[in-house]
Structure 1
Amino acid sequence: MADMTRGALAPEGYLPRTCDGTLREMLGEFGAVEVAGTMWCGKTWTSLSVSESVTRVGNPGVRRAVEADPSLALMGARPHLVDEWQDVPEVWDAVRDRVDSEAGARGLYVLTGSSSPRKERVSHSGAGRIARLRMRTMSLQETGESTGAVSLAGLFDGRFEPQLVQQRLEPLARILCRGGWPALVGTGAPASPRYLDAYFDAVFGVSVPRRGLDGAESRRVALSLARNLGTSAKYETLGADAFGGDLAPETAARKASEHVAALEALYVVEPVGGWDAPIRSKSRLRTKPKRYFADPSLAASLLQVGPERLLEDGQLLGLLFESLCLHDLAVYASALPGAGPDPLHYYRDSDGLEVDAIVELRDGRWAGFEVKLGESGVAAGAAALNRLRRKVAANPAARNPEPSFMAVLTGAGEFARYDAEADVYVIPLAALGA
């Protein structure tokens, strides 16, 4: 097996990603790894960085050949990358069978995919043979717009040093509209409207119709999701938004659920599930997920807002900033040594208490986060976090009643600091990292 630190195909100028180490670890443990995520988030470059050869199934000529004989996609020095494998779903079974035939071999294949395949075209789950790594667009640390001086892993280990940050909202508004797309980092494009228009053209003009759904309808559902960003909006609400009085409410809700499922399968939309301290709590399953876009810029694009307009609309700016915080927390949390496949959650209970984000590790350690645009919201955020702290401590079924830490993430802020009186960290997002 080749050296996993850098493949022969590693692109020149490749910007390191937070998931690089996780990908190398997985290749040392499994016969194959699927790198899955939304289009254009950098999956191919990251996979090339550990690969020795590649088959690009998205190329029409290559696709025709692989459709006739899926084993052709597996030819090449290993680790071998099969890029956009889902265009020929039978490749999955071919990889699984090849891994089986070379029992004990590790790091044979890397697969990239921008959508979950139709299940009827895949015979085997790949369990135990093919691991999945979820990849997202670039975090602020990856784009160089966060110093990363405050480490999420360090906070869980009890390490923290105060930092001078001096972050303002104006740069964040531009970042929210540009997004974490690797192709746009360093280009100076303020809002990148044409790039995001092209993204949605590909989603609604090609990817959604391939799944048997109407792209125009899916666009309307996506717009409703943008309007209800970061909420647990019901399908009835989304259906009423998208289809108005054209359909019966039950039909509209059903169609909305189909389109949401498609957008999640295409990694355009990501659900964040509910959390409760008892590991067997029913509320973990019964709390409806909140939904965020794969990148905050997608919601901004659907709503047709630019940086200047965002700065005039504090409520929308706050919603998009919350989306950015959840995005970056997901990137950093997924790289933690003790992270499971879904370490990010939110908390809401019948008493009206809601906490924006919870990061929980496999060993039961957890931390709570509130998101505020600036220092003026820190006191309210700290109050919500400490209310949750007291509730969990009073729950005899809680597995680990005490959080490892609590933190308020801010947009604008002078310092990353510890508030001893509230027992809460105050961290501008531009200082947070893995």
Structure 2
Amino acid sequence: MVTYRRRIIDDTLDELQPDLRALSIHGPKGVGKTATAMQRAASVIDLSLPAQREIVTADPAILTRLPGPVLVDEWQRLSEVWDHVRHAVDAGSPPGHFLLAGSSAPRGAVVHSGAGRIVPMRMRPLSLAERGIETPTVGLAELLAGNRDVGGTTKLRLADYVEEIVASGFPAIRGLPARVRRAELDGYLDNVVQREFPEQGYPVRRPAVLRAWLGAYAAATSTTTAYSKILDAATGGLANKPAKQTTLAYRDALSSLWLLDAIPPWIPSHNHLDRLGQSSKHHLADPALAARLLGLDAAALLRAEQGSTSLSEGTILGALFEHLAALSIHTYAEAAEALVGHLRTRNNDHEVDLVVQRADGKVLAMEIKLADRVEDADAKHLRWLRDRVGNDLIDAAVIYAGEHAYRRQDGVAVIPLALLGP
């Protein structure tokens, strides 16, 4: 029997789930939603099974008669279940009774938002802290609280981070041998194109074009490249290019499957800054998917870092390291009830990779650098932001691939990615 490893979201669920009448855990397939929900369910309805769909269709009231908490897994396979749960909440179901797990409803399904009745929580692939490869010494929640103590040492180096990029944060995939992992990731992507898109109501007439678009999107990882340019990159050799609305449908379908995890632009709560960019930064759900779409394994990424003449490999490694950092920091920030954005001025003269914002509008600014040392130039945008927003900046940090966590003379923290935790 496989032993369950607690996730960061479990702490939030421990605090909230007993008092919430209905709670939804959503995210891409394979991140562990069912395993986590099963830890706290007394009854389980699995709507991926036709027989159980028939039972619920014939008798929706079974949802309220079963002992709770009741886990409704793969709820989107019978999307009217969402409304059954909403009505049960309105009718006075007891606290902690409903857990829903799955992705969003298929295109065209009429589903109430659930606002005020069903509380949503997003689950992502494993963050670095959840992978058990290092013990974090710096907590994001502590930084957000103004704790300036930074310290610790890690033995993880560039090759270890590259391995974590390609291994993926999908629990059932990351522990497999490298070749098997690659086959599983290819199968995951094939399933998205051939099965998940049609099930979501987006028939794919030209699968090769969709795969090319996904590859172009992966090449734009950690950038704000316009969707029109992604389409051009994907279809450069095609005389009969898909219409713009077709590729926007790709984006919408991938978003509904939680396979896009873009970072929105940060909008300051006070009028400190003007002329900020309004484009989101592109990320897939997991950097391993991006690496696989680009045909880059650990050896290829390390060759690039060690002097390969392939510019594309060299630039994508830094982008994938930033993606790995963003995946982890998203998870830590949500546990701390904070939001994650990015900052870029419209003329591109200033950029801050990640801005983590507390509910009161104060922020923690982070630069992500694929390097084993931090120079003055690496902190210049953080110092610029500090000068502009003043006391609204709680702290600033460079997240890097080096050995030690410390604080620079200019006050900027320097933290190895592996030592940052929730």
* Shared fold, TM over 0.5: yes
Residue in 1 that maps onto 2:81 = 91
Percent identity over paired residues: 34
Query: Is 2:71 the partner of 1:81?
Result: yes
Asked if the contact 1:78–1:107 (Cα under 8 Å) also holds between the matched residues in 2, the reply is yes
CA distance in 2, matches of 1:330, 1:26: 19
Query: Is 2:394 the partner of 1:379?
Result: no
The structure 1 residue matched to 2:209, chosen from 217, 240, 243, is 217
Residue in 1 that maps onto 2:264 = 273
CA distance in 2, matches of 1:303, 1:79: 42
Task: Give the RMSD, CA atoms, in angstroms.
Answer: 2.3
Q: Which whole-Å deviations, capped at 9, do the CAs of 1:277-329 have from their partners, x for residues lacking one?
A: 23579979960111201111000111111101011223221111000000000
Deviation at 1:243? 3.1
Residue in 1 that maps onto 2:325 = 325
Deviation at 1:221? 1.7
CA distance in 2, matches of 1:246, 1:184: 35
Residue in 1 that maps onto 2:32 = 42
Query: Is 2:10 the partner of 1:14?
Result: no
Deviation at 1:205? 1.2
- Within-5 A mapping of 1:7-156: 13-72=3-62, 75-102=65-92, 105-113=94-102, 115-118=103-106, 120-156=108-144
CA distance in 2, matches of 1:363, 1:305: 41
Residue in 1 that maps onto 2:279 = 288
Residue in 1 that maps onto 2:226 = 234
Residue in 1 that maps onto 2:312 = none
Residue in 1 that maps onto 2:343 = 347
Query: Is 2:296 the partner of 1:299?
Result: no
Deviation at 1:27? 1.6
Asked if the contact 1:346–1:356 (Cα under 8 Å) also holds between the matched residues in 2, the reply is yes
Residue in 2 that maps onto 1:166 = 155
The structure 1 residue matched to 2:363, chosen from 360, 366, 376, is 366
Asked if the contact 2:72–2:100 (Cα under 8 Å) also holds between the matched residues in 1, the reply is yes
Residue in 1 that maps onto 2:254 = 263
CA distance in 1, matches of 2:272, 2:24: 31
Deviation at 1:90? 0.3
Q: Which whole-Å deviations, capped at 9, do the CAs of 1:363-398 have from their partners, x for residues lacking one?
A: 2221000011114454322111111211223xxxxx
Amino acid at match of 1:204: V
Give the count of matched residue pairs: 408
Asked if the contact 1:204–1:216 (Cα under 8 Å) also holds between the matched residues in 2, the reply is no
Asked if the contact 1:369–1:408 (Cα under 8 Å) also holds between the matched residues in 2, the reply is yes
Q: Which whole-Å deviations, capped at 9, do the CAs of 1:41-84 have from their partners, x for residues lacking one?
A: 00001111111110110113222333444444555221110000
Q: Cα–Cα, structure 1 residues 289 and 248, in superposed 2: closer, same or farther, change >3 Å?
A: farther
SS state at 1:121 partner? coil
Q: Cα–Cα, structure 1 residues 283 and 427, in superposed 2: closer, same or farther, change >3 Å?
A: same
Asked if the contact 1:310–1:317 (Cα under 8 Å) also holds between the matched residues in 2, the reply is yes
CA distance in 2, matches of 1:284, 1:266: 33
Task: Give the strand-richer structure, 1 or 2.
Answer: 1
Asked if the contact 1:85–1:91 (Cα under 8 Å) also holds between the matched residues in 2, the reply is yes
Asked if the contact 2:276–2:345 (Cα under 8 Å) also holds between the matched residues in 1, the reply is no
CA distance in 2, matches of 1:98, 1:404: 43
